[in-house]
Amino acid sequence: MRVHDIQAYLDRFFDRVELVGDGETEIGGPARIESATEGQVSFVANEKYIRFIGSTGASLLIVGETAPVGKYSDRLTFLKVKDPYTAFVFVLQLFSSHRVVAPPGIAPTAVIGKNVTLGGNLAIGEYAVIGDNCVIGDNTVVGAHTVLMDGVVTGCECVLFPGVVCYEGTVLGDRVTLHSGAVIGADGFGFAPQPDGSYIKIPQMGIVEIRDDVEIGANSTVDRATMGSTVVEKGTKIDNLVQIGHNCRIGESTVIASQAGISGSVTVGAHCMIGGQAGFAGHLTLADRTHIAARAGVTKSFRERGQAIGGFPAQSLRSQFRQEALVRNLGKMREKLDALEAELRSLKGE
């Protein structure tokens, strides 16, 4: 791939992409600026990395519009953009598009059920199983050993890595990515307690709907609804090892870090951020743009937009920090109290 090709690709996203150097230079892939070698592209988005410009082995650097590149232009090629960090993300996407999850076509060992609608330009890997009445959208990739149970619908340009399982009735939008081990549509954790202490299973009759441009990490689970739908709205990104319970609704463009656990019937607003190992009680509501700190224990709803929440039980981070400061000073406070008690005893003549 030539520098000119990368420039043309970035022109789709930026008003101005200035080339300084040789646009015919061949670029084979991305790398960190410290370790890049000839034929690789890197970037500088932070001033502390400017010092590597003179020593990097990269052939192409993506830099800011005001970056001091003049004295290096005889050795390096530069693309100058307003936001080099985001530009490099687009470059990573450009090169990652060449990843092969499954080769084009339908593998001979794949199992295709009855009344299945297959789109064009598919890649269905070895031993993948497509159940009855499924619909697979155009340009979708289904990795080896992935299982789509009866009635699953995928949009176009989805990527399901090897070992994904979508239970019956699951609906995926366009450009959904599911990483290996993800399970979509398993039964929700629904059991009715009985007077004798036993439990009766509550049948989980609903489905899961994953909207456009959602990405779900390895070994994460989204449970089917008891009735109706568990919904993950468009653009949401879910890390590895995340649990989303039945009848939840996760808002648009929300990010959820690893090992977070969201109990059933929780509604998370749009553009929220949920830190790793955060836990939620059931039937709560988070307003849009709520930020939940790592390891928070959320036991109540937060309906005011844009709050930063942390601690257990979860509260505003400002309140949590005040409490932590008091706890850290308990030792000194105890010493002062002991001194005051000793002074009081001496005054009493004890």
The candidate with the shortest Cα–Cα distance to 163, out of 112, 217, 207, is 217
Return the structure tokens found at 340.
């005051």
Could you confirm whether 246 is annotated as catalytic?
yes
Q: Give the residue among 268, 341, 346, 348 at the shortest CA–CA distance from 307.
A: 268
Residues in the chain: 350
Q: Break the chain down into helix, strand, coil percent, rounded to 5.
A: 15, 25, 55
Helix runs in the chain, H state only = 3-10, 84-96, 317-328, 330-347
In whole angstroms, give the CA distance from residue 24 to residue 1: 9
First-to-last C-alpha distance (Å) of the chain: 89
C-alpha span between 172 and 268 (Å, rounded): 19
Q: Residue 301, by phi and psi: left (phi above 0), alpha (psi -120 to 50) or beta?
A: beta
Catalytic pick among 4, 145, 246, 291: 246
Cis amide linkage into residue 104, ω under 30° from 0: no
308-310 and 315-316 strand pairing? antiparallel
Q: Which positions are catalytic?
A: 246
